[in-house]
Structure formats: structure tokens, C-alpha cells
A = this chain, B = another copy of it.
Amino acid sequence: MIAGIELGGTKTVVAIGSAKGRVVEEYRFPTTLPEETLAIASQWLAERGEPRCIGIAAFGPVGVTPGRENYGQILATPKPGWAGFPLIKTLAAAFPSAKLTLDTDVNAAVLAEATIGAAKGLDDVAYITIGTGIGGGILSGGRLIHGALHPEFGHLKVPRRPSDDFPGVCSFHGDCLEGLASGPAIAARWGRPAHELPADHPAWDTQAWYLAHGILSLLAIVSPSRVIVGGGVSQAAGLHAKINAQMVELAAGYFPPALVPDYVYPPALGQEAGICGAFLLAIS
């Protein structure tokens, strides 16, 4: 029995699945306080048997490097009650004989998309998600990137679109990529949430411009073969095509990986990428 837990900022998914990364049975519920959330997930799993291995895909920042002091802990997050929560210690107490494997939700998603999704078979893939925040997971040479912490893709800075003077909404950086192009940024900039903006609204050209600049930084630093753009905001009709058109213009004949008309893809696994990735982490 392979188990997966996707711990998201607003919802949690707990599931059992196959070694190929497919969901057999799942349960989705709102993420509340940490003890309560983990208790619900653990009980649901325990009712279904004794998992041999559990993959955990967690929101960040989170300590994901085994052996480091902060391994398995949720780090400095504004989410009430979660900063410093010992995620892995809590799960290990509930399932003492299970092997636990932890990574970020976006690393789980890139692993799933590169194994069974929109970048199947590729070794160099980035997955970015545009929703309440902006995050990124990276597979490089077939291995997930961690670094000293893990990528915090949303917080890089990109050039301003000419004549754009929106101040940005990031509470740390104002006009970092997340501050300019996340769901809350779109709502603040245009006075309406992203899902209410029609496909021909100028918001989407602005959005494509900023996302393409962020992806250009990925390309310059880790050179992915393909970039998957997911998350709620990415579901706007035509957004991926707009980003691709921007990428071609920005690359200007340079960057061989991006000299293709379809460098940026939507996810193939949709909302299941995180939990499928958790299964793949579990058996890794």
C-alpha cells in the first residue's frame, strides 16, 4: 500500500495509489491547524491499512534535506500555527514502520509531470504554478533541485512591463514576480479575480509578459527542455499560447531549448499532479 499526502495552503489531499503514480482512492479536505490536519490524514490512511511508504508533498517553506536540522519542519510561514511545525516527526509517530519521503508540492508536481504527464520522459523540466502565490519545482538531469533551502521562484524580480506602474502585492518584496502576477496581484490590479476576466482582457497580455520573463530566468539558469505552467490562474483560455509567443520574442534566437513554438505546456495531470508526485516520491 503506497500512500500520499499533499499538504496545500488551503486544502489537503490524502490518498492511496499505485507505484505508477496513479490515484486509487483519495480524500480532500480543508487545511486547518497542523495537528488537526495531520490527525485527519493519518486516521483516513490508518483506516485503509498500514502504508509501507508515504510520500509527502508540502507547501513551503519546508526543510526537505534529510540530515539538516530543519528537515521535516514547516519553516517561516505566515500561515497561522504552521511555522516550526514538525511535520515528519508527527507522521513518524503515527506510522512508525513506514518510510517517509518529503518534498515540496511543486517538486512533487514536476516529478509527476515528467514521469506520467506533459513532460513524460524528459530529464530537465520545470513546473510553475500560478495561484494564490507563484512557486516552482525543477527536475534537472533527472534529479529534483533543492539547494540550501528550495527554489522560491515566485520571489525573483523581473523587468517592469513598459508603462506598468502597479506597485505589486508581495508583503516582502512588493513587485517581485509573485507580487506582480499571482492571483491576488491580478485581482488587485484589475479589480476583479482572474476567473472573471474574459480571454480578450488586456490582463492576459500583461500576465504573459511577466510569466515569460520569469521563465526566461529559469531558462538562463537551469535550461529546462520544457516548462509546465499550472495552477488556477493558468487555466485562462489561450494563456499558454500567449506565453509561448512572448518567449520566442524574448529569447531572440538564443537559448536553443526555447527555440520551439511550444516550449511552455499546460499540465497533463491538472489538480492531481501534487498527489501523483507524492506517490512517486514515496517509491523513489
Q: Which A residues are within 8 Å of any B CB, using their own CB?
A: 61, 75-76, 124, 136, 138, 140-141, 143, 145-160, 172-173, 213, 216-225, 250, 252-257
Contact = CB atoms under 8 A, between A and B. Distances in A.
Q: Is the interface of A mostly helix, strand, loop or mixed?
A: loop
Nearest to A257: B148
Nearest to A212: B157
A222 B145 contact: yes
A214 B184 CA distance: 26
B124 A147 contact: yes
Contacts of A76: 256
A48 to B, nearest CB: 34
B155 A158 contact: no
9 contacts: A76-B256, A145-B223, A147-B223, A148-B223, A148-B257, A151-B222, A155-B254, A158-B159, A217-B221
Given A141-B143, A151-B223, A159 B159 contact: yes
B223 A150 contact: yes
Given A149-B257, A160-B160, A218-B221, 4 more contacts: A138-B221, A152-B254, A159-B159, A221-B221
A71 B214 CA distance: 28
A73 B150 CA distance: 33
Contacts of A75: 256
Contact of A217 (B141, B156, B172, B253): B156
A279 to B, nearest CB: 22
A160 B159 contact: yes
A151 B257 contact: no
A152 B222 contact: no
A11 to B, nearest CB: 25
